[in-house]
Amino acid sequence: MKLGVIADDFTGASDIGLTLAEAGMTVTQFIGVPDGAADAALDAGVIALKSRTAPVDQAIAASLAACDWLQAQGAGQIVFKVCSTFDSTPQGNIGPVLDALAAHLGAEAVIVCPAFPENGRSVYQGHLFVGDALLNESGMQHHPLTPMTDADLRRVLSAQSARDVGHVPAHVVQQGARAIAAALHGRAHLITDAITDADLIAIGRAAKHLPLLCGGSGIALGLPANFDRLPKTPDWAPVTGPGVVFSGSCSIATRQQVDVYAAKAPTFQIDADRAVMGDYQIADIVAWVAAQNTTPMIHASADPAVVKTAQDRYGAGVAAHAIETFFARLAPALVDAGVRRLVVAGGETSGAVVTGLGASALRIGPRAAAGVPLLRSGPTALALKSGNFGGPDFFAQALAMMQASA
């Protein structure tokens, strides 16, 4: 293994897995730290953790264990994959985990860059933009678990980290890899501006000898070339069994996707109150799915006012946990009943579903959308969609792509 990635959620892991696979690396997404050794032929291993919203000490311990395993497989460079909208709370977990990884790896200057231009995320003057909106005006200020209320990443990371936080500005990045490398000094996390893929490719080249980087999947765009890999389309064998769509994301993009899909398919909406009360019978929902002629959708996606009502009543963690637990129990019951295509919207939701399925590794297939690959776990096809990724008709498109050849 040449490159090791520690991802703080499951959709993020498949997002960066796709970037590496399309740039020509052989890559597997592991669910948590594997027990045994990786295939020696693997170029990159991506360990998916569910650490974005975990207690800080647990997130650090899981990330260090992942780091040790990746290094034991030969990885000479570690990427800490975080969300392209820098999802975190004032307590963490990006800062504390990054501090711990940097100390563990003896890293001095660490590039921190969540830019993902293809999906509209850019970093300029140390501020994160989603399209033309500052992060805190992009809808992310309403996220159920990690509301992002400040677009200045230097301030956001400083509040979470014990290390100095510096800045590599766009005018340096645009001068290319040599200028970027010259700016990487001191023992500091460096928020690095990037507006285009060309910026990220230059950053990747500049990072060739760094032990640690942190960013969204865009940070990986330039890394495979350091290992002489060339772009390719990942393989895919069609999967034709019954499908189901799950959504636990309340992001703007997902709510639109839910509306579009609900207009053409049977839809079952999960209510937070009933989930908290444990009111849903898994067997009844499996029977409801089996009775449908069109691929159905089960979702909890709701607008910010509805989410707030549930959170005020039970606490954000309790409402989220109840809904995630529901999906984690439903997914294996549906697969046992013959479901073979599963599209899941939401990072935490995907973490719950894949953990519920008991999968240990996922094979990365071709893209269903920017940042979202098709995945294979045994006979089951999956797509784990980040809340804000994909076009309005993503669900139908991903289900159809699973049935087609690459």
Ligand X SMILES: Nc1ncnc2c1ncn2[C@@H]1O[C@H](COP(=O)(O)OP(=O)(O)O)[C@@H](O)[C@H]1O
Ligand Y SMILES: O=C(O)[C@@H](O)C(=O)COP(=O)(O)O
How distant is the alpha carbon of residue 242 from its chain centre?
A: 25
The runs of H, that is alpha helices, within 315-405 are: 316-336, 347-357, 394-403
E strand or H helix that includes residue 16: helix 10-22
Is 15 a binder of ligand X (CB under 6 A)?
no
Nearer to ligand X, 192 or 350 (CB): 350
The bridge status of strand 267-269 relative to strand 127-130 is: unpaired
Q: Quick check: 32 binds ligand X (CB under 6 A)?
A: no
Question: Using omega within 30 degrees of 0 as the cis cutoff, is the peptide bond preceding 93 cis?
Answer: yes
Give least dist CB 389 to ligand Y, A. 7
Closest to ligand Y by CB, 296 vs 347, is: 347
Q: Could you say whether residue 319 binds ligand X (CB under 6 A)?
A: yes
Nearest CB to ligand Y, comparing residues 166 and 216: 216
Interface with ligand X includes 161 (CB under 6 A)? no
CB of 330 to ligand X, least distance (A): 13
* Residue nearer to ligand X on the CB measure, 63 or 349: 349
> Any contact of residue 331 with ligand X (CB under 6 A)?
no
Sheet holding 121-124, edge to edge: 121-124, 127-130, 133-134
216 touches, from ligand X, ligand Y, none (C-beta below 5 to 8 Å by class) = ligand Y
To ligand X, the closest distance from the beta carbon of 142 in angstroms equals 10
- Give me the sign of the Cα torsion angle 40, 46, 50, 54: positive
298 binds ligand X (CB under 6 A): no
CA distance 205 to 199: 10
Is residue 272 close enough to count as binding ligand X by CB under 6 A?
A: yes
Residue 339 identity (one-letter amino acid) = V
The single residue among 300, 328, 353, 383 that binds ligand X, judged by CB under 6 A, is 300
**How far apart are CB 349 and ligand Y at their closest, in Å?**
8
Complex with ligand X: residue 80 or 389, whichever CB lies closer: 389
* Minimum distance from residue 380 beta carbon to ligand Y (Å): 20
- Please list the helix, strand and coil fractions of the chain in percent, rounded to the nearest 5, in that order: 40, 20, 35
Shortest distance in whole angstroms from residue 174 CB to ligand Y: 23
From the list ligand X, ligand Y, none, pick the one residue 302 interacts with, judged by a Cβ distance below 5 to 8 Å according to partner type: ligand X
Are 157 and 110 spatial neighbours (Cβ–Cβ below 8 Å)?
Answer: no
Paired sense of beta strands 77-81 and 3-7, if any? parallel
Q: Which residues contact 298 (CB under 8 A, 6 or more apart)?
A: 244, 245, 246, 247, 267, 268, 270, 285, 289, 327, 330
Q: Which of 20, 82, 135, 307 binds ligand X (CB under 6 A)?
A: 307
Q: Which is nearer to ligand X, 93 or 311 (CB)?
A: 311
Q: Does 356 bind ligand X (CB under 6 A)?
A: no
Q: Which is nearer to ligand Y, 126 or 218 (CB)?
A: 218
Of 63, 122, 138, 251, which one interacts with ligand X (CB under 6 A)? 251
Q: For strands 361-369 and 372-377, give the pairing.
A: antiparallel
Residue 113 bridge partners (DSSP): 215
160 binds ligand X (CB under 6 A): no
Pairwise CA distance, residues 117 & 130, whole Å: 9
Q: Decide: is 222 part of the binding site for ligand X (CB under 6 A).
A: no
Interface residues with ligand Y (CB under 6 A) are: 9, 11-12, 15, 83-85, 116, 216-217, 346-347, 371, 386-388
The answer to the question of residue 320 lying near ligand X (CB under 6 A) is: yes
Alpha-carbon distance of 225 to 271, in angstroms, equals 47
Structure tokens at 145: 């678990």
Q: Give 209's Cβ-side CA count (13 Å radius).
A: 6
User: Under the criterion CB under 6 A, does residue 370 sit at the interface with ligand X?
Assistant: no
How many residues bind ligand X (CB under 6 A)? The answer is 26
Which whole-number Å values give the CA distances from 194 to 4, 13, 32, 174, 175, in the listed order? 22, 21, 30, 9, 12
- Residues of this chain that bind ligand X (CB under 6 A): 143-145, 248-251, 254, 272, 300-302, 306-307, 310-311, 319-320, 323-324, 346-349, 386-387
